Amino acid sequence: MRQPDRSSGKPLYRQIADDIERRIACGEFPPGSLLPSERKLADKLNVNRSTVILAYEELRALGLVESRSGKGTWVSSNKWGITPTHSPNWHRYVEGGYFLPNLVFLRRIREALRGDPQLIDFASGELAADLAPGDEMNALMRTAGRTEYWGYDNPQGYGPLRESVAAYLRQYRDIQTTESSVLITSGSQQSLYLITQCLLSPGDAVAIEEPSYCYSLPMFQSAGLKLLRLPVDSHGLQPEIIRELFKKHSIKMLFVNPNYHNPTGTVLDPQRRSRLLDIASELAIPIVEDDPFSLTSYDSVPPPSLKSIDRRGSVIYIGSFSKIAASGMRVGWMVAPHAVVDRLADARQQMDFGPSVIPQIMAAEFLRSPDFLPHLERLRMRLLYKRDLLVEALNQQLADLLSFTVPEGGLHLWCKLNAEANDGKLLEEAIRQGAVFVPGSVYGSESGYLRLTFARTKEAEIRPGVARLAAALKNVIG
């Protein structure tokens, strides 16, 4: 909804009514659409509830909306007194389809951040603008080589970028690969989507760490996959459980995040890494390794990737620019056997004829530029500083209510409540206090956990943000 203009001579309720009428007329709110409640719309527009009540009364007088006590307000099916002929039931279409919507908590967080730019953001898993290489990328945009062809490119990805990614992986992750085994995607989530859609079938069982970022992605359920849990402790996942799950469910694939795991921040123990690869090889189960955070290692020596010690070709490796440079570039990559790359590139071509060549050119230039390594070093130092600010604030203000293990890399702090609190109530109270986080249940954990992300939050906001979380916790817990 458009924010009313308080400097206008037109009453606020009339501005709100006119805006809703315009949206009804252009089909944004089709017949039968449920409108926001009076209280919810008043909060969103920062007006009194009585103002919204007047706006809805105006629309009812025009015959545009109908209301019923306890049922809400919706757009009339008899707009302007004319009964529409065969008006589509858009609600039925929206509720249909196989691709599920985002989880309720994530939609609520997104709505809150859109509606209140003053919220202190401990939820968004991306880098703040001051952590991204903005100056370097702007300079590259001015000096990058010209391209003569602006049409569709290879659906596997821009050739020079695949070469740069292969060189980057050899240098920084000790992964020996060539450009022919690299597929460029728009990020890790698209890589996962292509895998779930093209390499698996409805009914297949896959094993995912518990908790895991994957549980926040309904794409697994949308693909009809059966999700089995691999519990994560302070040393990472427990490989021996895979045997039991395989005997009962014939697992088809494993999805893991071994380095600075999202959301717990753990690093998979070296012995467990070897055991995981041995068991996967013995049972012929492919492993999908999501590795977005390794280069954020605060001591600049990242843990090895599974792919770098995989000698049997069991691992599909996923990475992206999002957590080490700029999420807005929408550049990610996958390293996989040639047959897999060909299959997924073919599917990618059906989706969008391949990724945009412009961000690929920029990513290729940046990966091989002399600015890349200094950027990584600055990023690590700034993330470490922000982590320490958050840890200090939590210890000072919430030591009796929260416990956590301090991570050595990544963007997140995984916290356990020392008292019982309902996830939904705590989130709503935090938003009311002016801060937002992600409840742990989004990632498949039991209630009583929360993920605090410090990469997006401004340094000056961390301490007051923790104070707002402390107020919310104390109000909910009592």
Query: The pTM is what?
Result: 0.81
How many other C-beta atoms lie within 10 A of the C-beta of residue 358?
14
CATH classification at residue 413: 3.90.1150.10
Are residues 69 and 167 located together in one domain of the fold? no
Q: Would you state the structure tokens that stand for residue 276, as one six-digit string?
A: 């995981």
Task: Report how far residue 161's alpha carbon sits from residue 431's, in angstroms, rounded to the nearest whole number.
Answer: 41
Are residues 248 and 391 located together in one domain of the fold? no
- Residue 340 CA, distance from chain mean position: 25
3-state secondary structure of 227: strand
For the chain, what is the domain count?
3
Are residues 310 and 380 located together in one domain of the fold? no
Are residues 152 and 253 located together in one domain of the fold? yes
Residue 138 lies in a domain: no
Are residues 71 and 213 located together in one domain of the fold? no
Task: Report how far residue 59's alpha carbon sits from residue 75's, in angstroms, rounded to the nearest whole number.
Answer: 9
Exposure letters 434-460 (e unless 16+ CB within 10 A, then b): bbbbbbbbbbbbeebbbbbbbbbbeee
Residue 3 lies in a domain: no
Task: Report how far residue 420's alpha carbon sits from residue 383's, in angstroms, rounded to the nearest whole number.
Answer: 30
Are residues 227 and 203 located together in one domain of the fold? yes
Residue 465 lies in a domain: yes
Residue pair 421/415 in contact by the 8 Å Cβ criterion: no
CATH classification at residue 78: 1.10.10.10
Q: Would you state the structure tokens that stand for residue 236, as one six-digit string?
A: 């990472």
Are residues 83 and 17 located together in one domain of the fold? yes
Are residues 173 and 311 located together in one domain of the fold? yes
Place of tokens 């940046």: 366
pLDDT in tens, the chain (478 residues): 788 888 887 888 989 998 998 888 888 888 888 999 998 999 889 899 989 999 999 888 888 888 888 788 988 876 544 445 445 666 667 777 888 888 999 999 999 998 888 999 999 999 998 898 888 888 887 776 566 667 778 889 999 999 999 999 999 999 999 999 999 999 999 999 999 999 999 999 999 999 999 999 999 999 999 999 999 999 999 999 999 999 999 999 999 999 999 999 999 999 999 999 999 999 999 999 999 999 999 988 899 999 999 999 999 999 999 898 888 888 999 999 999 999 999 998 898 887 888 889 889 999 999 999 999 999 999 999 999 999 999 999 999 999 999 999 999 999 999 999 999 999 999 999 999 999 999 999 988 999 999 999 999 999 999 999 999 999 998 6
Are residues 158 and 223 located together in one domain of the fold? yes
Are residues 379 and 356 located together in one domain of the fold? no
Residue 5 lies in a domain: no
Residue 392 lies in a domain: yes
Residue 141 lies in a domain: no
Residue 173 lies in a domain: yes
Residue 137 lies in a domain: no
CATH classification at residue 356: 3.40.640.10
Are residues 309 and 413 located together in one domain of the fold? no
Q: Which domain-ending residue is among 370, 393, 421?
A: 370
Q: Would you state the structure tokens that stand for residue 48, as one six-digit string?
A: 């009194």
For residue 399, give its domain range.
Answer: 104-131+374-477
3-state secondary structure of 436: strand
Are residues 84 and 116 located together in one domain of the fold? no
The H-or-E segment that residue 224 falls in is none
Cβ burial, residue 73 (10 Å; 0-12/13-18/19+): buried
